[in-house]
Amino acid sequence: MLDKIFHPGEVEARLYAQWEDSGAFRAGSKTGMPSFAIVIPPPNVTGSLHIGHALNNTLQDALARFERMRGKNVLWQPGTDHAGIATQLVVERELAKRQMSRVKMGREKFLEEVWRWKEESGGTIVRQLRRLGASCDWSRERFTMDEGLSRAVLKVFVALHKEGLIYKDKRLVNWDPRLQTAVSDLEVENIEVKGKLWHIKYPISGEAGRFIIVATTRPETMLGDVAVAVHPSDERYTSLVGSQALLPLANRPIPIIADEYSDPEKGTGAVKITPAHDFNDFDVGKRHGLAPLNILTKEGALNDLVPDAYRGLDRFEARKRVVADLDALGLIEKTEDIVHAVPHDEKTKTVVLEPYLTEQWYLNVTPLAEKALQAVEEGRTRFVPEHWTNVYYNWMRNIQPWCISRQLWWGHQIPVWYGPDGGIFVEETESEARAAAKKHYGREVALNRDPDVLDTWFSSALWPFSTMGWPDKTPELKRYYPTSVLVTGFDIIFFWVARMMMMGIHFMGDVPFHDVFIHTRVLDEKGQKMSKTKGNVVDPLDIIDEYGADALRFALAIAAGQGRDIRLGINRVETCRNFGTKLWNASRFCEMNECVRKREFDPATVELTVNKWIVAETARTVSEVTTALEAYRFNEAAGAAYHFVWDVFCDWYVEFIKPVLNGNDEATKAETRDTAAWTLDRILQLLHPFMPFITEELWTRMAEHAVPRRSMLMLSPWPDLSTLPQHEEARSEMNWLIDLISGVRSVRAEMNVPPSARLTLLLKGASVETSLRLATHRDVALSLARLSSARVTADIPQGSAQFVIGEAAAALPLGDVIDFAKERARLEKELKKSEDEIARFDAKLGNPGFVAKAPEEVIEEQKEKRAEAEAVAVRLREALKRLSA
RNA sequence: GGGCGCGUAGCUCAGCGGGAGAGCACUACGUUGACAUCGUAGGGGUCGCAUGUUCGAUCCAUGCCGCGCCCACCA
């Protein structure tokens, strides 16, 4: 016997182990069946599961389980990402706690430390994914820095270099002075901060007392100025073009040049040109043949190219000093308070990034982007929802070279070796590089390997094929590439999706996935982004502990619409947990009534109206859920199943069959039991992609008293009920009945003339509006009696109720469950409380029964209504009779 | 500045050419034999505003207002 509620904590671990041990998660290899593959967006190996992961993996798991049940060969490829910067930061922080540092340890020792850290904490997120129920093929788990994937990375780098697409260049990059590494444009987060705009007077050489005024938010960089630019057509400055300004503090003459970049509308119309510290200025400098003057160190302090007084000062310190000194010289024309966007590092959002002149490795992605663009234009890869296509297009069409080198230690070290004269040897291994160098120099030479590592996203870009064994020609690649769908959030469309497209097409000759489903973000219940600093983080593991994984998964899935962000309040999870309880208890009802599975049961053969109806409704629901899942409309799929279980199966079917199951007709009872059991099985299957644990548990438990199951629910075939009869007649009859019962609009209990009470049900004409549920016949009586306008009659036979529709009356059998004496007593009590209500009701209804002398037209009207109602009553009686016969 | 998304019941949202819905919250009643993690009933909305298309608009078009996000600029 099932307990009254489901205890997720007691079954989840057991079921998961059972699934995993059985090999049910393993990539399928059934011949002749289509394939379905998803690669997981690899989470940071040292991370832990946040609510966004929970959503992402719930959706993937729903698809994987769905397709597995549909008989496809499913591969859900799991793994983790080495997450260069994030992981290095974490480990450095740990080292700091032990009074150690990366630099002191040296590269080799440090890397050992990171690997150790990875071994220790790397299992966390993977364990947490298991708690969520993720049915990944763990036997194929990969890590972006494991041997195979590293080999793929090297191969790709070397190949792209040989094709001339990877090259070294010296230009401005976004520099993180704390980590002392370059980061890509995408890793920059522009944050609005309060700042100042200083208007600085630059004296004109040889013209005492004449100045050109420039406005800047970064006065310290003026020490690296190489020019002042004005717009060619800006008449205010025409006379100055060609003159020299004397750069204050540095006392260095710089030219005043004309360049279209200068915007007469902005600032003073004259702009200082600092090519080494501003992206636009870099271009201006290039146009005018002005060499950049780098005045910063890697740490973001001023270097030796500035006057003594400023050397070694941190950039912010230097700013204060420069402003103070300029002010003392009377060279500050004015200072404005402004709010402007300043580039910060996206991880901690605390470090101001610098445009910084360095030599880095770049990947020329333009040719790759063209093909990636074309693939989407041609529909070979499709974004869902479609509007993300434009986001992808816009970025791809304006793509910039990808800076792929990072000055970190944790990551794939770039396979480049330098000879004594700076000769470059790009090979997959050191020995190959050595051989190449030997060939080049004609002798053995000492080589130095480039110390930099690759951007983390470089290896992620290869994920769909590197995890399947590329560059080897593996059966997995053959079977599963291109993958079916990528499920991810919009925040990594550029970082990851676009780059996988480019690399996939380039190296595999085909797109990495057919569909890209972009899901929304999960916010807190107030619609705020979850963040540690705000303290509004909802930990999915806490939710799983308290409500079970199914409740969390269902809450996420049913909220996963196509447009707006998901606001996850805990009450949503509660609702879904309650839904699980409802399902559990519906199963309990079936169990108590011995509704057990019969293998030979054929739903097409049922004869009772109520059974025909539920069979047809089940088929419709299966079709709805299937269609919705195929289109990634998770909310609709989960919603359709929810609605069917609660509003159709529990509220109506179970209530309708109670009198049948309590009746004496063994044949109809048997059919009904079989149908109920069959329907419940279909429900479990429909819900399994969303609520794997509770459904699997019920699947097993419900078979305890029936024909044992051949296999686990997760391996059962997805129902295809498309060939079942539609049973239009039964459906329309049941719908009519449900509408009618729902339409009992106003019912009043009234002790009319004691002791002769009557139970009267007033249906509002033949039309219907809200809902009174026909639970059991007894429930009908109770509900009716409870409501505001029912009359209990002692003069009708016990066990039947008289329905009055309009003025027409129809007796309806109620079985033998009503104790009229008791009900009457209760009603009397209740009525005393609600006399006011009755009065109001009478007034509202203008109950003609109480009108002594009704006008002719009222009587006529009543007659019509009566005739109409009589017909309804007759039909109702017939319908209820047919339910159980 | 460019682009995208969203404004529907107190809250969170679904619906998107012909009856305005769900969950939560609220009110009243009810522990009955699957389920109080429940049931029954009830209150509550000029579907952001305006114009247009249409026999008919919450739904389509245009404009406006408000909110959010992305990209760019960032003197």
pLDDT for A495-540, tens place per residue? 899 999 999 999 999 999 999 999 988 877 667 777 666 677 788 9
Distance A626 CA to B6 C1' (A): 28
Instruction: Please indicate whether residue A744 or residue A38 has the higher confidence score (pLDDT).
Output: A38
Distance A101 CA to B69 C1' (A): 39
In the structure, what pLDDT confidence band is assigned to residue A741 with cuts at 50, 70 and 90? low
**Range of A96-100, A187-191, A675-679, A702-706 with top mean pLDDT:** A675-679
Would you state the pLDDT for residue A739? 65
Which residue is closest to B37 in terms of CA–C1' distance? A578
Nucleotide in closest CA–C1' contact with A649? B34
Q: Is the pLDDT of residue A759 over 80?
A: no
Distance A622 CA to B17 C1' (A): 28
A272 CB-contact burial (10 Å; exposed 0-12 / middle 13-18 / buried 19+): buried
Residue A159 — φ and ψ, nearest 5°?
-60, -45
Give pLDDT tens digits for A203-237: 888 888 888 889 898 999 998 899 898 888 888 88
Instruction: Please indicate whether residue A171 or residue A69 has the higher confidence score (pLDDT).
Output: A69
Give pLDDT tens digits for A773-807: 222 333 343 333 333 233 333 233 333 344 333 33
Would you state the pLDDT for residue A637? 93
Bridge partners (DSSP) of residue A332 are A200
Distance A246 CA to B73 C1' (A): 29
Q: What is the mean pLDDT of residues A751-763?
A: 27
Nucleotide in closest CA–C1' contact with A198? B75
Distance A665 CA to B37 C1' (A): 35
Would you state the pLDDT for residue A537? 75
Q: What is the mean pLDDT of residues A476-493?
A: 92
- Map tokens 């973001």 to a residue: A300
Q: What 3-state DSSP class applies to A453?
A: strand
Would you state the pLDDT for residue A544? 93
Radius of gyration of chain A (CA): 38
Distance A28 CA to B21 C1' (A): 42
Residue A181: closest CA among A408, A412, A451: A408
Nucleotide in closest CA–C1' contact with A646? B35
Give pLDDT tens digits for A640-674: 999 999 989 998 888 788 777 877 788 889 999 99
Give pLDDT tens digits for A287-324: 888 888 898 998 888 888 888 888 888 998 889 888 88
Nucleotide in closest CA–C1' contact with A563? B5
Q: What is the mean pLDDT of residues A857-875?
A: 49
Nucleotide in closest CA–C1' contact with A772? B40
Share of chain A above pLDDT 90, in %: 44
Would you state the pLDDT for residue A569? 81
Q: What 3-state DSSP class applies to A252?
A: strand
Would you state the pLDDT for residue A509? 95
Residue A14: closest CA among A130, A128, A126: A130
Distance CA(A61)–CA(A602), nearest Å, equals 31
Distance CA(A347)–CA(A548), nearest Å, equals 31
Q: How many residues does chain A have?
A: 885
Distance A387 CA to B62 C1' (A): 21
Distance A345 CA to B14 C1' (A): 39
Instruction: Give yes or no for a cis peptide into A725 (omega within 30° of 0).
Output: no
Give pLDDT tens digits for A622-644: 999 999 999 999 999 999 999 99
Distance CA(A57)–CA(A128), nearest Å, equals 11
Would you state the pLDDT for residue A740? 61
- Map tokens 């996203």 to a residue: A457
Instruction: Please indicate whether residue A773 or residue A494 has the higher confidence score (pLDDT).
Output: A494
Nucleotide in closest CA–C1' contact with A826? B30
Distance CA(A329)–CA(A133), nearest Å, equals 69
Instruction: Give yes or no for a cis peptide into A855 (omega within 30° of 0).
Output: no
Q: What value does the mean pLDDT of chain A take?
A: 81
Amino acid, single-letter form, for residue A625: V
Nucleotide in closest CA–C1' contact with A741? B40
Would you state the pLDDT for residue A805? 32
Q: What is the mean pLDDT of residues A533-555?
A: 87
Which residue is closest to B19 in terms of CA–C1' distance? A769
Q: Is the pLDDT of residue A747 over 70?
A: no
Q: What is the mean pLDDT of residues A450-462?
A: 95
Q: Is the pLDDT of residue A837 over 50?
A: no
Q: Is the pLDDT of residue A14 over 50?
A: yes
Distance A74 CA to B5 C1' (A): 33
Distance A702 CA to B35 C1' (A): 17
Nucleotide in closest CA–C1' contact with A490? B70
pTM of the model: 0.84
Distance A422 CA to B41 C1' (A): 86
Instruction: Please indicate whether residue A845 or residue A430 has the higher confidence score (pLDDT).
Output: A430
Share of chain A above pLDDT 70, in %: 82
Distance A698 CA to B37 C1' (A): 17
Bridge partners (DSSP) of residue A314 are A301
What sign does the dihedral A268-A274-A280-A282 (CA atoms) show? Answer: positive
A489 close to A53: Cβ distance less than 8 angstroms = no
Among the residue ranges A487-491, A734-738, A878-882, the one predicted with the least confidence is A878-882
Question: Residue A127 CB: number of other CB atoms within 10 A?
Answer: 11
Give pLDDT tens digits for A48-57: 888 889 999 9
Nucleotide in closest CA–C1' contact with A577? B37
In the structure, what pLDDT confidence band is assigned to residue A819 with cuts at 50, 70 and 90? very low
The Cα angle at residue A268 between residues A263 and A270, in degrees rounded to 5:
60
Bases of chain B within 7 A of a CB of the protein:
3-6, 11-15, 23-25, 29, 32-42, 70-75
Q: Is the pLDDT of residue A691 over 60?
A: yes
What sign does the dihedral A139-A141-A145-A151 (CA atoms) show? Answer: positive
Nucleotide in closest CA–C1' contact with A188? B71
Instruction: Please indicate whether residue A553 or residue A802 has the higher confidence score (pLDDT).
Output: A553
Residue A764: closest CA among A739, A741, A748, A746: A746
Would you state the pLDDT for residue A112? 93
Question: Residue A835 CB: number of other CB atoms within 10 A?
Answer: 10
Beta strands in A633-776 (DSSP E): 748-750, 762-763
Both tokens of A511, joined, read 């797109």
Would you state the pLDDT for residue A865? 47
Nucleotide in closest CA–C1' contact with A270? B75
Both tokens of A708, joined, read 């044992």
Which residue is closest to B29 in terms of CA–C1' distance? A786
Q: Is the pLDDT of residue A186 over 90?
A: no
Q: What is the mean pLDDT of residues A754-779?
A: 27
Nucleotide in closest CA–C1' contact with A786? B29
Would you state the pLDDT for residue A618? 94
Distance A387 CA to B69 C1' (A): 14
Distance A387 CA to B52 C1' (A): 27
Would you state the pLDDT for residue A566? 83
Distance A52 CA to B8 C1' (A): 27
